[in-house]
A and B are shown apart, each in its own frame.
Chain A
């Protein structure tokens, strides 16, 4: 069994980066590096990670890293994988490194989806990691395809009117061997899913809900608490999809099995300043109900992949 004590001490993310206070992305990088080890290559599309790694000629990330254009995540990773395959064939390297594509929700949901879809269809052997902060935080918090209904962004000042898309389900539809969602509040679940993804050959898609303190408007000390409440309220469901079957994990599993009561979405919304403009208005209740309905619908859709519920 994995415990906090058994996690490696080595830090491949070096202290003193340019990340904001309480940044979920730098924390995610730390845990991912612990799970994947040093024999890995990181491909980063335009996102906060392109900034928090530090400015030239210094870097906070102690693994080889390639910065690439917004739309080119999947394509860049495919090229890296092909390159390492050729190097191994020539005998220049002994073991192919784990290739990890690291992108935000902008680089995944909106701008990067075509190259991700292409790489998944080609069954490229890499891990696609999306840290989803539900907005374009790097460029000043604009709306993205991942922004939930009712959330404030600079381009949706009265709250977004549309629902977010469910990209993990789009990836399941690609029939890739492994799809998982993770949360910072459950680091051991995160760690185990990353290790599992490393051991599987083919395209792996992992998505993290990354509560962004300046974008979502909550104090920097609450990053973990917001992550936890997102899972407990069902706004973020933890599961892994393997061989055509879904398995709920961590707190989501307990909620589905009825061992723990699901907390109302309202509690999650009230914790964040980005939902304040919509909650203050009379239509706030309507947005809340629509989100509650979205959670119920997502759970029902996921249950269709779980053998016990079919």
Chain B
């Protein structure tokens, strides 16, 4: 038996924060958001509305590794700078 509390080994089910905890969720995508640089006015609306945190604030870059293709960015873009394009068979 353990003499003091320090000797007892505690086992806790502790998860660690990791990007991509569900794998490369970009593979779920059916439609891919494609940004037109000439139409984008950096209003940041797509950035704030992305549910998956896949659009960077600094340069409005879409992270295709994790983007699930929900289409909110294309729907909400005021200048229609993002369009959804069907993914090709890989």
Expressed in whole angstroms, the minimum distance between the Cβ of B83 and any Cβ of chain A is 12
Within the complex, which residue of B15, B45, B72, B74 is in contact with A58, where a contact is CB–CB below 8 Å?
Answer: B15
Interface residues of B in 51-89 (CB under 8 A from A): 51-54, 57-58, 63, 65-66, 68-72, 74-76, 84
Give the residues in chain B near A62, CB-CB below 8 Å: 17
CB proximity of A205 to chain B, nearest CB, Å: 24
Chain B: interface size category: 35 or more
Most buried by A among B15, B45, B52: B52
Contact A14 B18 (CB under 8 A): yes
Q: Does B24 make an interface contact (CB < 8 A)?
A: yes
| CB-contact partner of B21 in A23, A30, A58, A184, under 8 A | A58
A17, CB-defined interface residue at 8 Å: yes
Verify if A256 is at the interface (C-beta below 8 Å from B). Answer: no
In the complex, what distance in Å separates the CA atom of A16 from the CA atom of B51?
A: 10
- CB closest chain-A residue, reference B44: A4
| B75→A221 contact, CB < 8 A | yes
Given contacts A9-B58, A187-B48, contact A17 B22 (CB under 8 A): yes
Q: Does B43 contact A (CB under 8 A)?
A: yes
A54, B25: Cα distance in complex, Å: 12
A residues with CB within 8 A of B: 4-5, 7, 9, 11, 13-19, 21-24, 26-27, 30-31, 53-62, 184, 187, 213, 219-225
- Interface residues of chain B, those whose CB is within 8 Å of chain A, are 13-25, 28, 43-45, 47-54, 57-58, 63, 65-66, 68-72, 74-76, 84
Q: 5 tightest CB-CB pairs across the interface, nearest first? A: A221-B71, A54-B21, A16-B20, A58-B21, A22-B70
